[in-house]
Amino acid sequence: MNSSMDDTVLSGQQQDWQSPTVAELHRVALVIQYIGTHFHGWQRQPNLRTVQEEIETVLQSVIGYPVILYGAGRTDAGVHAAAQVAHFAAPVQIPAHRWTDILNHRLPRDIGIRAAAVVPERWHARFSALWRRYRYTIYTDLRPNLFVRPYVWHYYYGFLDESLMQAALTPLVGHHHLAAFHRSKSDRAHSWVEVQVAECRRQENFIQIELQASGFLYGMVRLIVGLLVEVGRGWRSPETFTQIWMEQRRDLVKYAAPPQGLCLLRVGYQEFPFSPDLWFDTQPQFVFSGMSEQKCCPN
């Protein structure tokens, strides 16, 4: 290891390196968190602020030449990530674990690197992934709460029955054609998805919907939640929900849930160099005390 080169990078002095040969590179994986509020999604787009571009810009400023960051999935504008995974080719002179500090000292406050590690050259953040898991959080209290608003859909229009919503979700598990939950402007050639988990649960005033699949269609989770709320309100039955997607009735799926309630929870791999405490369930869950006013404020 060239310690002087490593120390120079950490001190913020830009290296004037030329693009190295493959032999001088190793593949580094990152576990990334970001608050999606002020981003136009993960993927680089012209003249728009994206997570990929922010990190790539910092990598280039440190290494001295353009770097491509490959993500496990593309999140939409306003969507958060608790444990997005990505990889890039890095100079071997910088130990992989140092990239956590190097990046966190330079990235904006709404992006954080949880960990960095070397992975085999055959390993790919996107193509090696076995599944992705998303969580959508709905806040059902009649009163607003500024401390949860950036991360939930505040749905106060009426009671939502989570048992009906779970009944609608259960048939989704399996290999299905889900064109009804596929937004336009997607470059994916088909709408077949292997759904592995579909769960809905309530914790006090919060309803959490978690979906795990081998891959997700463009806009899939938000469209599912938008239709699922109609089931929770009693406007549609769980059977009608199932019939809509089985018959590919995209015309009946009219509303997408807002983006701020959605979070890429984690990504699963057969080979992963990180311990579960770094990536498995790092999005805090909102649970209030449940104490009554009489208990917390005695006479």
Per residue in 173-217, pLDDT (tens digit) is 999 999 999 987 666 678 899 999 999 999 999 999 999 999 999
User: Would you give the end-to-end CA distance of the chain in angstroms?
Assistant: 67
Structure confidence at residue 186 (pLDDT): 64
d(CA 162, CA 164): 5
Residues 21/93, Cβ–Cβ less than 8 Å: no
Structure confidence at residue 183 (pLDDT): 84
Residue-range domains of the chain with CATH: 6-119 (3.30.70.580), 130-270 (3.30.70.660)
Token pair in block for residue 93: 């002179």
Q: Which residues are catalytic?
A: 76
Question: Cα dihedral sign for 70, 71, 73, 77?
Answer: negative
Structure confidence at residue 184 (pLDDT): 74
Single pTM value for the model = 0.90
- Pick out the chain residues at pLDDT < 50: 1-14, 291-296, 299
Residues 121/27, Cβ–Cβ less than 8 Å: yes
**pLDDT tens by residue, 268-294:** 999 999 999 999 999 999 888 664 444
